[in-house]
Chain A
Amino acid sequence: MNKTVNPNELTSDDDYGPLYAARKKVYPQSVHGTFRRIKWGLMAFCLGVYYFLPFVRWNRGLGAPSQAVLIDLPNSRFYFFFIELWPQEVYYFTGLLIVAAVALFLMNSVGGRIWCGYLCPQTVWTDLFYAVERLVEGDRRERMKKDKSSDPMKLERISEIVLKHSIWLLIAWWTGGAWVLYFNDAPTPVKELVTFQAPMIAYIWIAILTATTYVLAGFMREQVCTYMCPWPRIQAALTDEWALNVTYRYDRGEKRTSVKKAAELRALGEHVGDCVDCYQCVAVCPTGIDIRNGPQLECIQCGLCIDACDNVMTKIGRPKRLIGYDNDINIQRRQEGKAPVYRIVRPRTIVYSAIIAAVGGIMIYTLATRSLLDVNVLHDRNPVAVRLSDGSIRNAYTVRLLNKSGYDRVVAIDADGPANLTTHVVGIDSVTPDRPMIVIPRDSTSELRLLITAPAESNPEKSIPVRFHVTDIGLGEVATTTDNFVAP
């Protein structure tokens, strides 16, 4: 990246030259090692969750969706295993987003762009697409040779290209298809899709996500990270001097010499660097950079150069981790002859962890203690109060009862307010005087018109608070809310 450029090759924007630099195709080489294994594992996990989660079933009882994770837009419900969220509980998603954001910060302060290198969908799918490419067309050298070859296309080459793109499209199509399954009972749309009976919106979404997956993972690749994604800028700003980044330990690597020369010089007792300039770290890099030029924007810190370098170091009998997770502070310390220091527990990691713990704790607490029975009350505004023929005063309220549980409930409504009040729900004949009882069907809301009448002699003040208690007759669960009783 920091190579000197011949001035004659430079183009500027004010002449008729191109306004952009053409992409230099990257041919990452396959590599084996610790970080590659971690990446395979995380890829299998992430894709496995994404592709198969919609098929996981969860028994919620008769009539309720039996999909473990389901975003039910038509009915405004979100199901996540044992949790069922209603639209008014979207604040849980706010909490989730806060936790996710702070978790990213925490990852950064501990190990730099871990997200970019191992977990980002762009990285995961690009990695998968590279694996397919390697399988079909061969490794780095073969691919370079095939692309460079000016021979007329041979049938073998054409079939290779067709095969590669077919597999890519298949993966991309499955990616789009899996997305749709989160919004519907998974087996149903699968059947509908196969028989071309699915709603148009499903096909549109599948088409969009197939296209984006195919283009982003198959063609844009590292350019997404370098030019499109805002995260590298933000993450770089969040990374401090103690964060462990994929680092070329130049204190150990310089000066670079060939294996042979290094052996000769070492024999003479001279100091020689461990780097043998084999360019393996560059060959395996999916963004096509040279990590030995220091930390740079394009580096997604996937650690594949570490594996590549380790393999070479093992071969030439030098200690591993010439490239490794480290920081500049430790390189300086080693140069000064001090022992390296790794500080994971720092004020910022403590603060981030505390925020995650606090928000997560609040979410778990509210989830655990949240009520499955709820009541909202809206006072009639027009008229606010009515005087009846015998002089008593009546206020009307619109009461909305929410039954979030998976069974029908019988509830009783009580009101505490002015002395000797009577309650009446329109359309309900109470068996017990002043204690209207109604049935709220499972997983639904009921809207009622509730009338509260206070006798004339109670002589209420201009406005007194009323407490509404909604009691589940069977379970004793109570939901309460407050409004006012107003005199005319």
Chain B
Amino acid sequence: MTDHHGDIDSVTGKSTTGHEWDGIKELNTPLPRWWVISFYLTIIWSIGYWIVYPAWPLISSNTTGLLGYSTRASLAVELANLETLRGEKMAALAAAPLADIEKNPALLALARAKGRTVFGDNCAPCHGSGGAGAKGFPNLNDDDWLWGGTLEQIMQTIQFGARSGHAKTHEGQMLAFGKDGVLKPDEIVTVANYVRSLSGLSTRKGFDAAKGEKIFAENCVACHGDGGKGNPEMGAPNLTDKIWLYGSDEATLIETISQGRAGVMPAWEGRLDPATLKAMAVYVHSLGGGK
């Protein structure tokens, strides 16, 4: 920029920058010296930051800086410190036999507190934050358990899951009797109404109960047991109670029988440490549905 200090504004007596728009000239009012010095100092300071702290993105990583500081690393340290702080109590939990935890008020409180947070992080997306479940995802507060509701059974389901691909997982699924051509559509309607009758629900007018019973005996008893009482070994639900995982109306039952069901519960062993798994089993059991 050329020096226009010779151009003096007649009104204020100050020099102008020489910029002019529509006859209006800009006064040369430089920044205060202290301000400019502070500005330069901040630039120098920022260079120091680039060197000392992680700053520049590279293609696959970033400059690490002289201090080697990393928020991830410091978080890991903080978390490790927290674990040490809680170590003693969690160790007591890990050491206690599963059956005794609920009898010890201190351990029960710890397991419930730990279980609640872990449940919120891992289980709530499917089972809901309070374990109330949803269609296809069991309510953990009630007393109906596909794979059994004792502490050990709950623990096993959490550890290995259902149809999770884990070597020890629960297997067994509801077959697709319609899709696979085992039952004809009218037979499916009949057996669906028979299943509704098992739990005391209303049935379609003119439905042939004897035929339904026969179809049920031939196709369903193997898993659901005599009278449809269910079998926790195979994850076959009790069809005589008031609780229905996918719904008890005729249309849903027809869908279930035609298409089959095979919901997946992931295995949590390996993702959560043994003490945490224990805490979760106790928490789920204490929700009230446990046997």
Are A and B physically bound partners? Answer: yes
Which A residues fall within an 8 A CB radius of B?
Answer: 380-383, 386-391, 394, 396, 426-427, 446-447, 449, 451, 456
Q: Which residue of B lies closest to A449 (CB)?
A: B286
- Interchain residue pairs with CB less than 8 A apart (7): A382-B130, A382-B132, A387-B142, A394-B288, A449-B112, A449-B288, A456-B242
**Which residues, 153 to 171 on B, are CB-close (under 8 Å) to A?**
none
**Cβ-based interface call for B129 (8 A):** yes
Minimum CB distance partner of B128 in chain A: A382
Which stretch from B34-42, B100-108, B267-275 is at the chain A interface? B100-108
Q: Chain B interface mostly helix, strand, loop or mixed?
A: loop
Whether A386 contacts B288 by the Cβ 8 Å rule is yes
Check B193 for interface membership: any CB of A closer than 8 A: no
- Name the CB-closest residue of A to B143: A388
Residues of chain B with a CB closer than 8 A to A386's CB = 132, 139, 141-142, 288-289
Partner of B288 from the list A381, A387, A396, A446 (CB cut-off 8 Å) is A396
Assess whether B287 is interfacial by the CB under 8 Å rule: yes
The distance from the CB of A138 to the nearest CB of chain B, in whole angstroms, is 55
Q: B31 CB to closest chain A CB, in angstroms?
A: 30
Determine the chain A residues whose CB is within 8 A of the CB of B264 once the complex forms.
none
A381 to B141, CA, bound (A): 12
A390 CA to B143 CA, complexed, in Å: 9
In the assembled complex, the Cα of A451 lies from the Cα of B142 at a distance in Å of 11
Closest B residue by C-beta to A387: B242
A427 to B130 Cα, complex, angstroms: 19
Q: Which residues of A contact B142 (CB under 8 A)?
A: 386-389, 394
| Bound CA span A456–B289, Å | 16
Is B238 interfacial (CB 8 A cutoff)?
yes
Closest 7 CB pairs of A and B: A382-B130, A389-B241, A383-B132, A427-B102, A386-B141, A426-B286, A389-B144
Contact B130 A389 (CB under 8 A): no
Chain A min CB distance to B177 (Å): 25
Contact A427/B108 with A389-B238, A394-B288 known, Cβ cut-off 8 Å: yes
**Complexed CA–CA distance, A383 and B128 (Å):** 9
Q: How many angstroms between the C-alpha atoms of A387 and B132 in the bound complex?
A: 11
Contacts A380-B130, A426-B286: A390 and B105 contacting too (C-beta < 8 A)? Answer: no
Considering only CB atoms, which chain A residue lies closest to B107 in the complex?
A: A427
A-side contacts of B141, CB under 8 Å: 383, 386, 394, 396
B243 contacts A426, C-beta separation under 8 Å: no
A451 in complex: contacting residue of B105, B130, B144, B288, CB < 8 Å:
B288
Interchain nearest-CB distance for A32 vs B (Å)? 64
Interface size class of B (residues with CB under 8 A): 20 to 34
- Distance in angstroms from B17 CB to nearest chain A CB is 38
Q: Does B251 interact with chain A (Cβ within 8 Å)?
A: no
What separation, in Å, do the CA atoms of A387 and B238 have in the docked complex? 15
Instruction: Please name all residues of chain A whose beta carbon is closer than 8 Å to the beta carbon of B108 when the two chains form the complex.
Output: 426-427
Considering only CB atoms, which chain B residue lies closest to A394 in the complex? B288
When distances are taken between beta carbons in the complex, the residues of chain A under 8 Å from B286 are 426-427, 449
Contact yes or no, A390 B242, CB < 8 A? yes
Roughly how many angstroms separate A380 CA and B129 CA in the complex, as a whole number? 12
| Interchain CB contact under 8 A, B109 and A396 | no
Tell me the bound Cα distance from A150 to B224 in angstroms.
Answer: 111
A449 contacts across to B, CB distance below 8 A:
112, 286, 288
Other A-B contacts than A389-B238, A390-B241, A426-B102, 9 sampled, CB-CB below 8 A, are A386-B139, A386-B288, A387-B243, A394-B142, A396-B141, A426-B288, A446-B105, A449-B286, A449-B288
Q: A440's closest neighbor in chain B, by CB?
A: B105
B interface residues with partner A (beta carbon < 8 Å): 102-103, 105, 108-109, 112, 128-132, 139, 141-144, 238, 241-243, 286-289
Residues of chain B with a CB closer than 8 A to A426's CB: 102, 108, 286, 288
The reply to whether B287 and A396 contact each other, CB–CB distance below 8 Å, is: yes
Q: In the bound complex, what is the Cα–Cα distance between A394 and B286 (angstroms)?
A: 13
- CA of A386 to CA of B289 in the docked complex: distance in angstroms? 9
Which residues of chain A come closer than 8 Å to B128, judged between CB atoms?
Answer: 382-383
Residue of B nearest to A391 (CB): B242
Of all chain A residues, the one with the shortest Cβ separation from B230 is: A389
Q: How far is the CB of B286 from chain A (nearest CB, A)?
A: 4
| Nearest-neighbor residue (CB-CB) of A385 within chain B | B141
CA distance A427 to B139 in the complex (A): 21
**In the complex, residue of chain B having the shortest beta-carbon distance to the beta carbon of A386:** B141
Contacts of B143 in A (CB 8 A): 388-389
B residues in contact with A447, CB < 8 Å: 109
For B129, the chain A residues whose CB sits under 8 A away are 382
Complex interface: chain A residues within 8 A of B288 (CB): 386, 394, 396, 426, 449, 451
* Assembled-state Cα–Cα distance A380/B112 (Å): 14
A427-B105 in contact given A386-B139, A386-B289 (Cβ < 8 Å): yes
- How many angstroms between the C-alpha atoms of A383 and B243 in the bound complex? 15
Q: How far is the CB of A266 from chain B (nearest CB, A)?
A: 77
Contacts of A381 in B (CB 8 A): 130
How many Å lie between the Cα of A390 and that of B131 in the bound state?
A: 20
Q: Which residue of B lies closest to A396 (CB)?
A: B288
In the complex where A426-B102, A426-B108, A426-B288 touch, is A388 in contact with B242 (Cβ < 8 A)? yes
B188 to chain A, nearest CB (A): 25
Interfacial chain A residues near B144, Cβ < 8 Å? 388-389
For A387, the chain B residues whose CB sits under 8 A away are 142, 242-243
For the complex, give the distance between the alpha carbons of A380 and B131 in Å: 11
A162 to B210, CA, bound (A): 112
Kindly state the separation between the CA atoms of A387 and B105 in the bound complex, as whole angstroms.
Answer: 27
Q: Which residues of B contact A389 (CB under 8 A)?
A: 142-144, 238, 241-243
Question: Looking across the interface, which residue of chain A has its beta carbon closest to that of B112?
Answer: A449
B161 to chain A, nearest CB (A): 23
Q: How far is the CA of A315 from the CA of B113 in the complex (A)?
A: 81
Question: Smallest Cβ distance from B144 to chain A, in angstroms?
Answer: 4
The complex places the Cα of A456 from the Cα of B199 at a distance, in Å, of 14
Nearest residue, chain B, Cβ from A441? B105
> Measured between alpha carbons, how far is A136 from B180 in the docked complex, in Å?
110
Q: List chain A residues, Cβ under 8 A from B287.
A: 396
Q: Which residues of A contact B103 (CB under 8 A)?
A: 427
Cα distance, A394 to B141, chains bound together (Å): 9
* CB-defined contacts of B102 to chain A, threshold 8 Å: 426-427
Considering the complex, give the chain A residue whose CB is closest to the CB of B130: A382
Most chain B C-beta atoms within 10 Å of own C-beta, residue among A383, A427, A449: A427
Cα separation A388 to B241 with both chains bound (whole Å): 9
| Residues of chain B contacted by A382 (CB below 8 angstroms) | 128-130, 132
Q: Closest CB of chain B to A58's CB: distance in Å?
A: 30
Residues of B within 8 A of A396 (CB): 141, 287-288
**Least distance between A287 CB and chain B CB atoms (Å):** 46
In whole angstroms, what is the CA distance A107 to B126 when docked?
Answer: 67
Cα of A274 to Cα of B154 in the assembled complex, Å: 99
C-alpha spacing A447/B110, complex, angstroms: 11
Instruction: Tell me, rounded to whole Å, the shortest Cβ–Cβ distance linking B171 to chain A.
Output: 24
B279 to chain A, nearest CB (A): 14
- Best-buried of B103, B108, B131 by chain A (most CB within 10 Å): B108
B248 CB to closest chain A CB (Å) equals 12
